[in-house]
Amino acid sequence: MKKNITILILGILAIPIVLMGCSSNTPASPTTDPNLIYTAAAQTADARLTQIFQSTPSATPITPTPTYDVVKTIAAQTASALLTQAASQTPTPQATASYTPLPPGPSGDQAVFVADVTIPDGTVIAPGAAFVKTWRLQNTGSSTWTTSYSLAFNSGEQMGTVTSVPLVQSVPPGQQIDVSVDLVAPTNAGTYQGYWKMKNASGQFFNDSVYVLIAVGSGGATQPVKTSTPGATPTSTGIPANPITSLTMSVDKDTFNGPCPYTFTFATTFTLNQGASLTYSLEAGSDTPGFQFVLPGAQTSTFGPGTYSLTFPLEFTSSGTGWVRFHVTAPVDVTSNQAPFNLTCSP
């Protein structure tokens, strides 16, 4: 097509040259202005080119057909449906499958720390001063602690010469007992910690460990905080044992900057040394005026010994900072740490 157009243009442009070649040698006054010939030729060529271009079909753009990945499409649709469903429901905490039972002690022996009766952690004691540390323990195993059982030094700072204190009375399963040890503070200033553990009649240690933690320094106590005969004294105070040995709260992503509403997922993890029915709830706070929380109500659930993780997805619609924590109100009153978060909503 392009070759034919070129030949046509060259032919039209050659017409004046041929006419000039065929004329006589006698000068004559031209009756037609050569410029008019060139103009007409150009107009003719332009008209022909226009006709040719108009008759040439234009390429029609073809919209590419999208290629769908069926697996990814179904996964995305399923995720979208789940998110929509979760947003329309009130968050309900559920225990995950992270159940980890405590390893049993030998022959069904198990001890649980209940309280520090004397010398709370960090008590300041004068260098070289004698003092009495008393722990309250509970027999949470299946065997009875006899007078052949003892509380024995296990590791850390011994603080004195006593290495073991025998029980002076049997302790059946479920009962509590106060165990006291006469100790002596080191002579050098500093922080000292010693670990003690129950030992059965066969000389085997069993969980849990208890410890004494003091700070040696001037101005500390120079006399025992409590005088007693070394050994163990049964207690019948009626104070329930604390079945929770650890309790923490965390958040999946503590800071978010983007479109709202946005959902933070908070998770609490706790360990029970024995089966218990827990009553618990979420608590939250914020320094941002008008910031709103929608928290699930208090719940009561029964758990066996082990480690559990409960998740709480909370949706927020406006910018703000705050915190969320987990609060157990029964059978004991225990509160987790505060898990902080920061939300900045943007278009």
- At 28 the pLDDT is 46
pLDDT at 251: 92
Q: What angle do CA 127, 130, 136 make, to 5 degrees?
A: 120
Pick the CATH number of 106-235 from 3.30.360.10, 3.40.50.1100, 3.30.930.10, 2.60.40.10: 2.60.40.10
Mean predicted lDDT score pLDDT of the chain = 75
Count other C-beta atoms under 10 Å from residue 332's C-beta.
15
Q: Would you say residue 321 has pLDDT above 90?
A: yes
Residue ranges of the chain that CATH labels 2.60.40.10: 75-101+243-345, 106-235
Q: How far apart are the first and last CA of the chain?
A: 56
Instruction: Please indicate whether residue 165 or residue 105 has the higher confidence score (pLDDT).
Output: 165
What is the percentage of the chain residues whose pLDDT exceeds 70? 63
CA distances from 120 to 124, 125, 215 (A): 10, 11, 11
The radius of gyration computed from the CA coordinates of the chain, to the nearest angstrom, equals 45
pTM of the predicted protein model: 0.40
Mean predicted confidence (pLDDT) in 223-231: 42
Interacting residues of 287 by C-beta distance below 8 A, sequence separation 6+: 321, 322
For residue 278, the SS3 value is strand
Q: Can you tell me the distance from the alpha carbon of 159 to that of 119, in angstroms, rounded to the nearest whole number? A: 14
C-alpha span between 320 and 318 (Å, rounded): 7
Contacts of 146 (CB under 8 A, 6+ apart): 167, 170, 201
CA angle 83, 250, 283 (to 5 degrees): 85
Q: CATH for 75-101+243-345?
A: 2.60.40.10
Of 25-39, 54-68, 87-101, 250-264, least confident by mean pLDDT is 87-101
Model confidence at 233, pLDDT cuts 50, 70, 90, reads: very low
Percentage helix, strand, coil, to 5, in the chain? Answer: 20, 40, 40
Reply yes or no on whether the pLDDT at 344 is more than 90: yes
Average pLDDT, integer, range 66-84: 50
Give the H or E element holding residue 130.
strand 130-139
Residue 34 has pLDDT above 60, yes or no: no
Q: How far apart are CA 10 and CA 64, in angstroms?
A: 43
Q: How far apart are CA 173 and CA 5, in angstroms?
A: 110
Please give the average per-residue pLDDT across 45-69, as a whole number: 51
> What is the longest distance spanned by two Cα atoms in the chain?
153
